[in-house]
Amino acid sequence: MNFELTDEQQSIRDAVQKVCDKFPESYWLERDSDGVFPHDFYRAMGESGWLGLAIPEAYGGAGLGVQEAAIMMQTIAESGACMSGCSSIHINVFGLMPVAVFGTEEQKRRMLPPMARGEVKSCFAVTEPNTGLNTTKLKTRAVRKGDRYVVHGQKVWISTAQVADKMLLLARTTPAEDLPAGSSSGGLSLFYTDLDRSKVSIRLIEKMGRKCVDSNELFIDALEIPVEDRIGEEGRGFKYILHGMNPERVLLASEAIGIGRVALRKAAAYARERVVFDRPIGQNQAIQHPLAENWVELEAAHMLTMKAAWLYDNGKECGAEANGAKFFAAEAGFRACERAILTHGGMGYSKEFHVERYLREIMIPRIAPVSREMILSHIAERVLGLPKSY
């Protein structure tokens, strides 16, 4: 591992920063207020070629790795776009990796280039109201009828469904009771298909942050999916989505670090400028020391995150590191955002200074896509050899 960015990676950071510079924090404050999807930002990233960063070159992408994707997402978050900017393009970066790895040649050529060019928006429909993280218990049912599957069911916390053209859907093709003993992860199939709004009812979920990137409940009633839109073999969909879980954790960690860094930068600047009792408040150790701790934690989180990314890109096991990075980066980012508000005092509660927005958005990496408690259980079992606790 190299602790410094390569020339190529630095050029990626610089180029992405140039795109982000066109979207100042005032832009993201407006999107936080009006809830309008950041179409301009999405289009700018597509036109600059960044949406296809990890898609193979043969299908219109750049064919780069998780390390480069992590650098890009951290840069976006650190620009002040936070989760709003990152979540608007998340599925473009690694969401269709199951297609790139397990799809047919025809599917790759049909599905990947439009995503890389930013011509379509997609959503990732997995989570259900009564299953949460217990993905093997999904109930949304896809029944094959000739050359089509007919789908009925419900999904929840589905991002970008309000604006999406396509949907990456995990549904049950074999009832759980019909599966052989010990094959709980079987019977689920993965589809990438049109989001037919005449068959899918979408209900917006009002939430505390990231207002411009919508979250939704989906009610699916007799959605027809052509067989050619099924990715890979029937019944192996759960294994296919597992392929993208470690990269997803790395990207969430990178985004949390980016939010923490912009919060720390804002707090340090305010501490240098704010004068109370004839001296800048940043001269007081009670202000200095917590900010210094934030820097240390964010640097440590960054190194763990990049280690996980390097392991993945080099074909090595990285489950513990990816999960650990997501856990530690989210906590470090949260503490930096909280400290930024406290450093600003009463002004930290004002939207004008942005730090309250950071705090609301940093909650996402703490919760999703996997809880802190599940990560700790994973590390306890897989690293420390402790018995399974759930």
Condensed to tens digits (0 to 9), the pLDDT of residues 290-346 reads 999 999 999 999 999 999 999 999 999 999 999 999 999 999 999 999 999 999 999
Residue 34: pLDDT band (50, 70, 90) is: very high
User: What mean pLDDT do residues 10-33 have?
Assistant: 98
What was the pLDDT predicted at 40? 98
Q: What is the tens place of the pLDDT at every residue in 182-241?
A: 776 789 999 999 999 999 999 999 999 999 999 999 999 999 999 999 999 999 999 999
User: What mean pLDDT do residues 42-51 have?
Assistant: 96
For CA atoms 376, 377, 378, 380, give the dihedral sign.
positive
- The domain covering 122-235 belongs, at the CATH homologous superfamily level, to Butyryl-CoA Dehydrogenase, subunit A, domain 2 (2.40.110.10)
Q: Considering the domain 7-117, what is its CATH architecture?
A: Orthogonal Bundle (1.10)
What was the pLDDT predicted at 244? 87
Residue 176: pLDDT band (50, 70, 90) is: confident
User: What mean pLDDT do residues 255-271 have?
Assistant: 98
Q: What is the tens place of the pLDDT at every residue in 131-175?
A: 878 888 899 999 999 999 999 999 999 999 999 999 999 999 999
What was the pLDDT predicted at 262? 98
What was the pLDDT predicted at 288? 98
Over 90: is that where the pLDDT of 353 sits?
Answer: yes
Q: Considering the domain 242-382, what is its CATH architecture?
A: Up-down Bundle (1.20)
What was the pLDDT predicted at 98? 93
Over 90: is that where the pLDDT of 180 sits?
Answer: no
What was the pLDDT predicted at 362? 98
What was the pLDDT predicted at 65? 96
What was the pLDDT predicted at 5? 94
Q: What is the tens place of the pLDDT at every residue in 267-280?
A: 999 999 999 999 99
What was the pLDDT predicted at 243? 83
Name the least confident of 51-55, 134-138, 249-253. 134-138
What was the pLDDT predicted at 83? 98
All structural domains of the chain with their residue ranges: 7-117, 122-235, 242-382
Q: What is the tens place of the pLDDT at every residue in 68-98?
A: 999 999 999 999 999 999 999 999 998 999 9
Over 90: is that where the pLDDT of 242 sits?
Answer: no
Q: Which has the higher per-residue pLDDT, 177 or 88? A: 88
| 122-235 matches 242-382 in fold | no
